[in-house]
Structure 1
Amino acid sequence: MEAVYQNFLIRDWQPSDRTPVTDIIRSVLAEYHLDFEPHAADCDVVDVENYYLTTKGEFWVIQQDDRLVGTGGYYPVMRGEQAVEIRKMYLLPHVRGLGLGKYLLQQLEKAIAARGFRQIWIETASVLTTAVKLYESYGYQPASGVETARCDRVYVKQIVSC
């Protein structure tokens, strides 16, 4: 994956991104008084290779100049039918409000559909109000079955085949 949005480059994760990615996620979670959990909810970003890359998922980073400013990815899950879960959509505060989150979500959805998946699941926390509004505005429907301890909302969206 490689895409450009304004002055941002969205590209595939590389092993050298591991520390900056965990720093971004830890920082954004702390803003909302949520803990970074490397042995639980965030184990996937500590081991991107096994959670994303070997499972037919993808993990992307967003780069501005030479600095990482955001993340996003998905991987298949045993929920629903031919389903994936979008995970780790995080943007640093100074790049929010520019349409980057919307663009990232659209690109994730396109990549997921191109790989033949039929459902997208997303878990989030109510305190992430901007994320909740984004998902709801893009047609994600509330569902049940939250699996992540720090999350209290789960959404699902059916992928419409062309």
Structure 2
Amino acid sequence: MISHAAPSFRIRPIEARDDAAIAAIIRRVMPEFGACGSGFAINDPEVDWMHRAYSAPRSAYFVVERVDAHGDGTVEGGGGIAPLTGGDADTCELRKMYFLPSLRGLGAGEALMTRCLDAARGFGFARCYLETLTGMDAAMRLYARSGFHRIDHAMGATGHGGCNTFYLRELTTD
């Protein structure tokens, strides 16, 4: 019997074998929102070795796989947290959270956000910061639903000079 159930997703920690898939996703999604050129993650060399970058202390990166009826998964998104470069020790940054269009609207964003914020709390962070840009409207709605509040200035030294919208969330409350 053939199952016609809608595909689901699963979230797991990144593995070295996922590096090429995540790099391709980031480089495909960012231009959708005009995020090209200097100051954007598309040119960040870390994009090519995410597994290694997020093996650092107090860092975690998760991939989201679309799962078919046979249980086979294909990486279609990801996101992570790491200490905020140039920030205080109590603040992490939500980083490189991108999904292919085929994964959007399935609840994967909220599930991944929960996983990232739980990891941040587990690492002892008190706040989570993120940067984005005008036009990423669905992402901004997710941030607001997840308890992030817009702030009027950048924090730390992320190197993402192309971003123009900034959010912060206290992690001590839900």
Instruction: Give 1:28's aligned amino acid.
Output: V
Indicate yes or no: 2:147 matched with 1:145: no
Find the partner of 1:68 among 65, 72, 75. Answer: 75
Q: What is the TM-score of this pair, normalised by structure 1?
A: 0.85
Select which of 46, 49, 52 maps to 1:47: 49
Identify the residue that residue 22 of structure 2 maps to in structure 1: 21
| Structure 1 residues 72-118: Cα deviation after superposition (integer angstroms, max 9, x where no partner) | 11101242451110111111101111111011111111111122110
Gap runs ≥5 in structure 1: 1-5
**What is the Cα deviation at residue 141 of structure 1?**
1.5
**Structure 2 residue 142 is matched with structure 1 residue 134:** yes
Q: Which residue of 2 aligns with 1:100?
A: 108
Gap runs ≥5 in structure 2: 1-6, 67-71
Cα distance in 2 between the residues matched to 1:61 and 1:40: 20
- Residue 98 of structure 2 corresponds to residue 90 of structure 1: yes
Contact 2:40 2:163 in 1 (8 A): no
Letter of the 1:93 partner, please give it: P
Alpha-carbon distance in structure 1 between the residues aligned to 2:37 and 2:54: 19
| TM-score (ref. length: structure 2) | 0.80
Task: Provide Cα deviations, 1:106-139, integer angstroms capped at 9, x if missing partner.
Answer: 1111111122110100111111111111112222
CA, structure 1 residues 66+161, in 2 after alignment: closer, same or farther (shift >3 Å)? closer
Give aligned pairs, total.
156
Alignment-mate amino acid for residue 158 of structure 1: E
RMSD: 2.3
Aligned pair in 2 of structure 1 residues 40, 133: CA closer, same or farther (>3 Å)?
closer
If you compute each CA radius of gyration, which structure gives the higher value, 1 or 2? 2
Percentage identity across aligned positions? 28
